[in-house]
Amino acid sequence: MTDATLTRSFTLRRFELWRFPGTRAVAIAALLYLYVPIVALVILSFSAGDSSLARWQGFSVHWYADVLANSDMLRAIRNSLLVASVATTTGTVIATMAALATSGPRFRLQTGFEAMIGLPLIVPDIVAGIATLLFFVMIGVPLGIVSIMLAHTVFAIPFAYLPIRARLQGLDPALAEAAADLYATPWQGFRRIVLPLIWPGIAAGAMLAFISSLGDVVVSYFVSGPGATTLPVYVFSMVRMGVTPAVNAISTLLMLASIALLTVSYLLGRRFQ
Amino acid sequence: MMASLRRSGLLAPSVLTIGALLILPLGLMAYVSTLERGPTGGVIWSQHTTDAYVQFLFERDLTDRLVVNTDYLHIFGRSIVVAAITTAITLIVAFPMALWMAFQPPRRRLLLVFIVTVPFWTNILVRNYAWILLLRNDGVIDWVLGRLGLTGEHINVLYTPLATTIGLTYSFLPYMVLPIYVSLEKLDRRLIEAAFDLGANRWLAFRRVILPLSMPGVVGGAILVFVPGLGAFISPELLGGAKSMMIGSLIQQQFGQSRNWPFGAALSFVLLVLVLLALSAHAARYRREPKP
């Protein structure tokens, strides 16, 4: 036996001991549980008839055609993308600034500050929605696309902050010091040294903020006015009216969008690891 | 001096944004809960009353006397029970799953984490909607069971608390798997090897080494499932029926049909306090324990 196969059989045997009987079965069952509903939804979105498997009448893409011809839905999609872009950009810039501050030497009140950054993730979204609604009504911000953007920016901050902070933590402080020794201004040091190094963290954070803004139903539901709604709020009202295969089609599209964004961020993360 | 000035400049935008658009509104919400309800909805800003909190426990009968009304307590109780059951089920499923994942070869581990994360980032509306398709009569499960001859009648699961629990379990399973996985993955393998070397079998090593060391992940996961489960709105609204209402829908009603803002604000405030209590109990527990 060569050395390599010896090591291999040794590690294999070691892994044998780590195997806990039954855990594999549970894990596979759980993965099925996670994916079966999604797969069923996708299959039913291609149904020619209504969305019942019992009355399957063949394969068709006409529900997708319906969705793409629905001008209300298209407007909602445009609103969603606009809100998510603005909230993500603003939120990510704010989060990057915050992460730069907290990754330096610890300051007084830092624990309190970090708790505050995490607050939007802790407050139940229905409570955040109600509170923001009351606030906007009181100070006279009209409910519409701007109010949704403002509300989304708040929870974009923690989503973007966490990966950026993690990335900054792994950064060698000597690099920024070296830049300063070479007469870089703090801004030049940031632009030329720190920013390129933390870029993957910023991209990952922005991606998460974008997905969570695109996916938000509850907060948007409360702070959107009669004029402008986002796609999830629109779909939510459709679902409450009844089940139609058009909802399956739009849901499938929404899901594809999240999966695509997530895959990009996963690949980015792996490339830079 | 320069440095601290620069730091303040970096901190200011997040403090201002979260302060003005979340903390201030939460304060306002608490304030609104103490106001008199307006005659056609809204509130009367100048008149204070404890009506909203009284209404939570009492109602006025025909002779205008206060009598105890447990309807709202029931809704809170149901929300707590549903959230607790959801936490228990996700824990039972997630622990073995995380244990299996943690002992896979490193490359496959990364992929598995990704696979578990995808549903977690998929739109919550889509995830719950998919369960309508599965659970309704004539839906996928009904049809499959009927085909197999297991059920004569329809399954009648949609619009029951069971459907809500299924939806919540589904929505929050990744919240439980990931923290447990993280605590198991970074667990020092030498400790388990040492247990084996000292003659422990798998079960003993599990009970005496792995389980105690994974407790932070278990508690973290439980918090991550219980807290949003308590305030859940989408799953109960889409999958639970009118008879299985939870706090979220009750709050929403006060701003919709009932037009009772102070009561809605009071309910939200009570929910927020419950959530903060659960979190601070968790934080206190970990502060007391010595750091390893």
Does A17 lie in the same domain as A133? Answer: no
On the question of pLDDT at B244 being above 50, the answer is yes
Question: What is the Cα–Cα distance from B222 to B224, expressed in whole angstroms?
Answer: 5
Six-digit token pair at B65? Answer: 């006397």
Per the structure, how many domains does chain A have? 2
Query: Residue A47's beta-bridge partner residues?
Result: A59
Question: What is the Cα–Cα distance from A5 to A17, expressed in whole angstroms?
Answer: 19
User: Which position has the higher pLDDT, B287 or B5?
Assistant: B5
What residues does each domain of chain B span? 71-245
Does A117 lie in the same domain as A33? Answer: no
Question: What is the Cα–Cα distance from B214 to A244, expressed in whole angstroms?
Answer: 44
- Closest partner CB to B117 (pick from A215, A251, A262): A262
Split at pLDDT 50, 70, 90, the class of B291 is very low
- Chain A residues lying within 8 Å of B265, measured CB to CB: 130, 134
Residue A126 lies in a domain: yes
List pLDDT tens digits, range B90-104.
Answer: 999 999 999 999 888
Contact assignment for A154 to B139 by CB distance below 8 Å: no
| Interface-testing mutation among B16, B18, B189, B258, with chain A (most A C-beta atoms within 10 A) | B18
| Interface-testing mutation among A130, A177, A247, A273, with chain B (most B C-beta atoms within 10 A) | A130
Give the mean model confidence (pLDDT) for residues B170-186: 91
Does A77 lie in the same domain as A14? Answer: no
Q: What are phi and psi of B232, to 5 degrees?
A: -60, 145
List pLDDT tens digits, range A52-72.
Answer: 666 677 788 888 888 888 888
- Chain B residues lying within 8 Å of A258, measured CB to CB: 118, 121-123
Does A240 lie in the same domain as A152? Answer: yes
Contact assignment for B110 to A270 by CB distance below 8 Å: yes
Count Cβ atoms below 10 Å from residue B70 Cβ, excluding itself.
11
Residue A51 lies in a domain: no
Split at pLDDT 50, 70, 90, the class of B292 is very low
Question: What is the Cα–Cα distance from B98 to B187, expressed in whole angstroms?
Answer: 12
Does A154 lie in the same domain as A181? Answer: yes
Residue A53 lies in a domain: no
> How far away is chain A from the Cα of B61, in angstroms, using its nearest Cα?
30
Chain B's closest residue to A97, CA to CA, is B10
B252 in contact with chain A, both atoms CB, cutoff 8 A = yes
Please name the amino acid found at residue A237: S
Contact assignment for A255 to B100 by CB distance below 8 Å: no
Say which DSSP state B43 is in. E
Element holding A101 (H helix, E strand):
helix A71-102
On the question of pLDDT at A89 being above 70, the answer is yes
Does A209 lie in the same domain as A153? Answer: yes
Identify the CA nearest to A216 among candidates B167, B130, B124, B172. B124
Residue A24 lies in a domain: yes
Residue A58 lies in a domain: no
Q: What integer pLDDT is reported at residue A12 of this predicted model?
A: 47
What's the whole-model pTM score? 0.85
Give the mean model confidence (pLDDT) for residues A180-199: 87
Count Cβ atoms below 10 Å from residue B111 Cβ, excluding itself.
13
On the question of pLDDT at B40 being above 80, the answer is no
Question: What is the Cα–Cα distance from A122 to B277, expressed in whole angstroms?
Answer: 12
List pLDDT tens digits, range A106-126.
Answer: 888 888 999 999 999 999 999
Residue A50 lies in a domain: no
**How buried is residue A212: exposed, middle or buried, by Cβ count under 10 Å (0-12/13-18/19+)?**
buried
Which CATH number is B71-245 given? 1.10.3720.10
Does A115 lie in the same domain as A28? Answer: no
Contact assignment for A218 to B275 by CB distance below 8 Å: no
User: Which position has the higher pLDDT, B204 or A113?
Assistant: A113
Residue A52 lies in a domain: no
Count of positions (residues) in chain B: 292
Q: What integer pLDDT is reported at residue B289 of this predicted model?
A: 53
Query: Residue B44's beta-bridge partner residues?
Result: B36
Residue A57 lies in a domain: no
Does A157 lie in the same domain as A35? Answer: no
On the question of pLDDT at A158 being above 90, the answer is yes
Sequential DSSP letters for B107-159? HHHHHHHHHHHHHHHS-HHHHHHHHHHHHSTTSHHHHHHHHTTS-SS----TT
Residue A182: give its domain's CATH number.
1.10.3720.10
Query: Residue B240's beta-bridge partner residues?
Result: none
The SS3 of residue B70 is coil
Q: Which domain holds residue A35?
A: 3-44
On the question of pLDDT at A151 being above 80, the answer is yes
